Structures are given as structure tokens and as C-alpha cells.
């Protein structure tokens, strides 16, 4: 029975049917479609009770499950419905074999995304049991209004590096944001405190099974003095989708953005006074429970670090050379290549090193027997070319699950579609096509796009023993993208993507 109730106490010796008549609770179970994972075949009046017997309001009849655990009762509502209590009548003494000992409540938008919101252990129950679900709503919200701030004392503040010394991800600001979660109590209060080491149990799941994810976004000091954050809603949406795939808990994206903005405000002096540098924001989410079972985490920590950064590549906006070797595959259908999980990065580092030993700067990741281009290093890839009809075309691989849905990728596509000056196409592109276009001199430009570098031109691709030099069109499209994005970042033009902090 699914009840919408004004009370959420666990009440025994209580009949919700009576309460319903008195109008203090509202039964909503009838609005749902009920089904069972199994029930015994009906052979007599005393055997084989299913949905009808489960729902018939008689305490003499009941559901008789069959086969292996878990036994599932599926309650599907036709529209989004808030459930405050689930009521179950169980009588251990009347029939101990059909009395559940543990009930797990799972909620979701469909069968594929169910998440456990409550677990109740029953110890020889006798009577009506209320399982309040109101907490499940509260649990998914680390609230900005709860934010606790522990600010550095003056002697704890670190000296800021020169803009010229900024190496990507090497310097961290004075403070960090942390929110811890556990499956029993949900989210704790968000806390901003001085940057500090994490205390992790050596058995923490993040250290063994890589249950971890991150995001990357940037804040900029505008030429007008305003501080701006670039499309944080997009990063938070991606973070949530990665969290779901990582079996990490959901949170409220808007509240998280508010907390991150506050962190940036506190450390705002760390945002470089420069229009080539910025403040890199690294939300990170790790599973912390100290237990070696390969299973969903019961404890987790979401934290946010800030780093003042210069250009990602030490060579600046200089074009980079790529190694394209089909023997190395970054992601594959049925995998997690579209997620910003730590697990996608560890395997790439050895290959990146191989490319460096061979004199290249980044890896061009290929996929499939036809050597489709997927990503370049940790960036999305764009090709600007003349198609066979002589039309100018900006091509980037589609979001088919093999590549990360980059926020810079999305922004460049949106800009180009707004300009309406050339064709903009998301489609699979193979090395054979690239080589043919190269031979027919139809390649205008190739570049990577990502938060760390924004735009990064490619000078050459080494593939199957040959080196293909990539031209650069004049005027350069990558330069134009960089200029346009830069104008938005540094407030030279007003744009809804740049959110005031």
C-alpha cells in the first residue's frame, strides 16, 4: 500500500484504513499499476496469492512469492507522485515463511534507474508497518542554506604564484568545499574550510575500484572586473549523469552551483588578473566506505578544488602533433566513454607516454575497423574541411556513447550554427576520409576543444607509418572560436553562458 500521509511516524498497532476514512491520509496506491516478480500458481484458495490478495484489504489473504530472492513488488505510477509512507501489514506468527525479514524500497523514473531509498529490517513483525519516505526527498539535497564556512586565519593563507608560473593543476587555492554522504543519513552539511589533506581509510572503495568522477569548469576575471563562471549548469548535469553511472548518489545541481560560487567568492583573489589565465574548478566525487566488496558505495565525499591556471599546453596556442594508432582504444560501445569517470583516464596515460616517446604531444583516439576519430588526448575533436561538393563543413564525431559530451564542444557547435556561415555536422568520420580530404587538399583545419585548453589546433597526425601535416586555414576558424569564447569568458561581450558569480 502506498499512502500519502501527513504523519511520518512509524506507528504500530495502527490501521491506515481507518485514518484514510478520517481524511488524515490519502491512499494513492490505486493510481498505480502493481506487478510482482513471481507468485505461486493458484491451485486452491489457500495457495497462490498474488496482486489481488496483496491489495484486497483482507489480512487473511496475502502474496505468496516464489523462486529466488529478491521478491519484487513493482508499483508504477502513471505520473510523478510523491509518496510519503508505504504501509505493509505483516504477521510473523500467522505465517512465518511468507513474512519478509528485509524490505528495500527503490525509486526511479523507470526500471532502469531504480535507486535504493530506504531499507527496513523486520523482526517478527505483527501488524501495520509504516515506512516513511519523506526523508528520501531531503536526503538528495546538500543545501546552500546549510553551508558552513571555516575561513583561513591570515597565517594560513598561501602566497599566490605569478601568472607566468601557472602550470595546469599544480597550485591550489586556500579553501575547498566538502559535502559528505552516507546511505543511512544522506547528505551532510556542505562545509568550506582551509585546503587540507583527506583522511581516507586505506580500504576506501575509491582506492580499489576507482569509484570516482570529476568535472572541470572555469571562472574568469572579466575585463570589466566582474567574475564569471562558464555554463556551470552543463557541468553539473554531466556530473549527475556520471554519478548515476558510478553508483554515486544524486544531489541538487542548483544548490551545488550556489556552494561553488560561494567558494569562488571566498578565494576570488586567486582568479588571475589576466585574460590568458583563469580559475579552474575541479568538483570531485569519490566513494569512501572502507569495505572491499565490489558493490555500490554506502559512503561518499563530494569536494571541490580551485586552481589558478595558465594555458593547458606549455607550448601555448602552438599547434600540437598527434599519434593515431588503432591498437589503442579509449572507449567502446557498452562502456562508459561518455562519462567523466576517473576510470576513463588511467588507461590513457601509458599510451600518452608512448606518444611522447615517439615525439608526439597527444593521442588521437581511434575506434573500430574503419578507424573512426573519437577524441584527441582529453579533448573533443573538430575538423574544418571542404566536403566533396566544395562546401565548407565543420565536422565533429556524434555523441554515440564513445566520446565525452564536452561543454566546449557543445558551445562551439552552438556558435557555429548561430553564425550560419558553413555546414555544421555531427557525424562519424574515419581516418580514410581524413586522408582523402588531405590528399585532395580539402582539409582546412583540425583542432581539439575542451575546458582546459578551450581550443587547440593540430599540426600533424602520425598514422600507419606516415606523417600527415594538417594545414591551417586563414582566417583560422580555431582562432575565431578562441576569440569568441574568450570575449564571452572575459566579459568583452555579454552572453547568457557566462554566469556572474
Q: Report the residue number, 133 or 341, with the smaller CB distance to a copy of itself.
A: 341
- Cα–Cα dist 137/236, whole Å: 19
Q: Is 458 in the site for a copy of itself (CB under 8 A)?
A: no
Site string for a copy of itself, 205-234 (x = CB under 8 A): -xxxxxxx-x--------------------
Q: Is 286 in the site for a copy of itself (CB under 8 A)?
A: yes
Joined together, the cell numbers standing for residue 208 give: 580499489
Q: Report the residue number, 25 or 217, with the smaller CB distance to a copy of itself.
A: 217
Instruction: Determine which residue in the list 58, 97, 109, 112 makes contact with a copy of itself, applying CB under 8 A.
Output: 112
H or E segment and range at residue 125: none
Cα-Cα end-to-end distance for the chain: 47
Q: Report the residue number, 98 or 172, with the smaller CB distance to a copy of itself.
A: 172
Task: Give least dist CB 353 to a copy of itself, A.
Answer: 6
Task: Give least dist CB 390 to a copy of itself, A.
Answer: 33
**R_g over Cα of the chain:** 28
Q: Is 370 in the site for a copy of itself (CB under 8 A)?
A: no
Stretch that binds a copy of itself, among 107-115, 125-133, 231-239, 403-411 (CB under 8 A): 107-115
Q: Is 34 in the site for a copy of itself (CB under 8 A)?
A: no
Q: Report the residue number, 89 or 328, with the smaller CB distance to a copy of itself.
A: 328
- Cα–Cα dist 497/501, whole Å: 12
Q: Which of residues 327-356 bind a copy of itself (CB under 8 A)?
A: 327-329, 332-336, 341-350, 352-354, 356
Strands 73-77 and 115-121: unpaired
Block residue for cell numbers 572575459: 490
Q: Is 202 helix (H, G, I), strand (E, B) or coil?
A: coil
Q: Report the residue number, 463 or 497, with the smaller CB distance to a copy of itself.
A: 463
- Cα–Cα dist 238/405, whole Å: 8
Instruction: Determine which residue in the list 18, 184, 189, 201 makes contact with a copy of itself, applying CB under 8 A.
Output: 201
Q: Is 69 in the site for a copy of itself (CB under 8 A)?
A: yes
Q: Which of residues 408-447 bind a copy of itself (CB under 8 A)?
A: none
Task: Give least dist CB 177 to a copy of itself, A.
Answer: 10
Q: Report the residue number, 214 or 422, with the smaller CB distance to a copy of itself.
A: 214
Task: Give least dist CB 485 to a copy of itself, A.
Answer: 21
Q: Report the residue number, 203 or 471, with the smaller CB distance to a copy of itself.
A: 203
Task: Give least dist CB 19 to a copy of itself, A.
Answer: 32
Q: Report the residue number, 339 or 477, with the smaller CB distance to a copy of itself.
A: 339
Stretch that binds a copy of itself, among 104-112, 128-136, 264-272, 414-422 (CB under 8 A): 104-112
Size of the site for a copy of itself (CB under 8 A): 79
62 DSSP assignment: -
Instruction: Determine which residue in the list 21, 33, 111, 124 makes contact with a copy of itself, applying CB under 8 A.
Output: 111
Long-range contacts from 294-298, C-beta under 8 angstroms, 24+ separation? 294/209, 296/116, 296/247, 297/183, 297/205, 297/211, 297/247, 297/248, 298/182, 298/183, 298/184
Q: Report the residue number, 16 or 337, with the smaller CB distance to a copy of itself.
A: 337
Task: Give least dist CB 259 to a copy of itself, A.
Answer: 16
Closest listed residue to residue 330, CA positions, set 356, 295, 362, 365: 365
Strands 423-426 and 443-450: unpaired
Q: Is 40 in the site for a copy of itself (CB under 8 A)?
A: no
Determine how many CB atoms are found less than 10 A away from the CB of residue 282: 16
Q: Is 150 in the site for a copy of itself (CB under 8 A)?
A: no
Q: Report the residue number, 145 or 199, with the smaller CB distance to a copy of itself.
A: 199
Joined together, the cell numbers standing for residue 245 give: 553511472
Strands 212-214 and 278-287: antiparallel
Q: Report the residue number, 333 or 471, with the smaller CB distance to a copy of itself.
A: 333
181 DSSP assignment: E
Q: Which of residues 157-186 bind a copy of itself (CB under 8 A)?
A: 167-170, 172, 176
Instruction: Determine which residue in the list 17, 40, 245, 268 makes contact with a copy of itself, applying CB under 8 A.
Output: 245
Length of the chain: 501
Long-range contacts from 462-466, C-beta under 8 angstroms, 24+ separation? 462/321, 462/322, 462/323, 462/324, 462/358, 462/360, 463/324, 463/325, 463/364, 463/431, 463/435
Closest listed residue to residue 446, CA positions, set 391, 382, 398: 382
Tell which phi-psi region holds residue 456, choosing left (phi > 0), alpha (psi between -120 and 50) or beta: beta
Block residue for cell numbers 484458495: 45
Q: Is 85 in the site for a copy of itself (CB under 8 A)?
A: no
Amino acid at each position: 500500500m502506498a499512502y500519502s500521509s501527513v504523519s511520518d511516524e512509524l506507528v504500530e498497532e495502527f490501521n491506515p484504513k481507518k485514518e484514510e476514512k478520517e481524511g488524515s491520509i490519502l491512499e494513492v496506491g490505486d493510481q498505480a499499476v502493481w506487478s510482482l516478480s513471481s507468485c505461486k500458481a493458484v491451485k486452491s484458495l489457500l495457495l497462490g496469492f498474488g496482486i489481488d490478495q496483496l491489495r484486497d484489504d483482507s489480512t487473511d489473504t496475502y502474496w505468496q512469492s516464489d523462486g529466488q530472492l529478491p521478491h519484487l513488488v513493482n508499483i508504477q505510477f502513471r505520473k510523478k507522485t510523491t509518496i510519503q509512507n508505504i504501509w505493509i501489514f505483516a504477521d510473523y506468527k500467522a505465517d512465518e515463511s511468507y513474512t519478509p525479514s528485509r524490505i528495500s524500497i527503490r525509486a526511479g523514473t523507470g526500471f532502469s534507474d531504480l535507486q535504493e531509498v530506504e531499507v527496513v529490517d523486520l523482526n517478527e513483525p505483527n501488524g501495520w508497518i509504516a515506512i516513511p519516505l519523506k526523508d528520501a526527498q531531503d536526503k538528495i539535497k546538500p543545501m546552500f542554506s546549510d553551508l558552513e564556512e571555516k575561513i583561513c586565519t591570515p597565517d594560513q593563507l598561501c602566497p599566490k604564484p605569478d601568472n607566468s608560473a601557472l602550470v595546469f593543476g599544480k597550485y591550489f587555492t586556500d579553501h575547498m568545499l566538502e559535502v559528505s554522504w552516507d546511505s543511512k543519513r544522506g547528505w551532510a552539511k556542505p562545509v568550506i574550510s582551509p585546503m587540507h589533506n583527506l583522511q581516507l581509510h586505506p580500504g576506501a572503495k575509491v582506492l580499489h575500484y576507482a569509484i570516482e568522477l570529476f568535472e572541470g569548469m572555469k571562472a574568469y576575471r572579466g575585463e570589466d572586473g566582474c567574475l564569471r563562471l562558464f555554463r556551470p549548469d552543463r557541468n553539473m548535469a554531466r556530473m549527475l549523469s556520471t554519478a548515476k553511472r558510478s553508483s554515486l548518489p544524486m544531489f541538487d545541481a542548483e544548490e551545488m552551483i550556489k556552494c561553488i560560487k560561494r567558494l569562488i567568492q571566498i578565494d576570488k583573489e586567486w582568479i588571475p588578473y589576466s585574460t590568458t589565465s583563469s580559475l579552474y574548478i575541479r568538483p570531485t566525487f569519490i566513494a569512501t566506505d572502507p569495505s572491499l566488496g565490489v558493490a555500490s558505495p554506502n559512503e561518499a565525499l563530494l569536494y571541490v578544488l580551485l586552481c589558478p591556471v595558465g594555458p593547458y599546453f606549455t607550448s601555448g596556442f602552438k599547434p600540437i602533433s598527434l599519434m593515431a594508432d588503432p591498437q589503442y582504444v579509449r572507449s567502446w560501445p557498452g562502456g562508459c566513454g561518455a562519462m567523466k569517470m576517473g576510470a576513463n583516464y588511467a588507461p590513457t596515460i601509458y599510451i600518452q607516454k608512448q606518444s611522447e616517446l615517439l615525439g608526439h604531444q597527444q593521442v588521437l583516439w581511434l575506434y573500430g575497423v574503419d578507424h573512426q576519430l573519437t577524441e584527441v588526448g582529453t579533448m573533443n575533436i573538430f575538423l574544418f574541411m571542404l566536403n566533396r561538393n566544395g562546401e565548407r563543413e565543420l565536422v565533429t564525431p556524434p555523441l554515440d556513447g564513445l566520446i565525452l559530451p564536452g561543454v566546449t564542444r557543445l558551445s562551439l557547435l552552438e556558435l557555429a550554427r548561430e553564425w550560419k556561415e558553413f555546414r555544421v555536422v555531427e557525424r562519424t568520420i574515419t581516418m580514410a576520409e581524413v586522408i582523402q580530404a588531405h590528399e585532395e587538399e580539402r582539409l582546412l583545419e583540425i583542432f581539439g576543444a575542451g575546458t582546459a585548453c578551450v581550443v587547440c589546433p593540430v599540426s600533424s597526425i602520425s598514422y600507419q607509418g606516415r606523417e600527415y601535416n594538417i594545414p591551417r586555414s586563414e582566417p583560422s576558424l580555431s582562432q575565431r572560436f578562441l576569440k569568441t569564447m574568450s570575449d564571452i569568458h572575459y566579459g568583452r561581450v555579454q552572453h547568457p553562458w557566462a554566469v556572474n558569480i
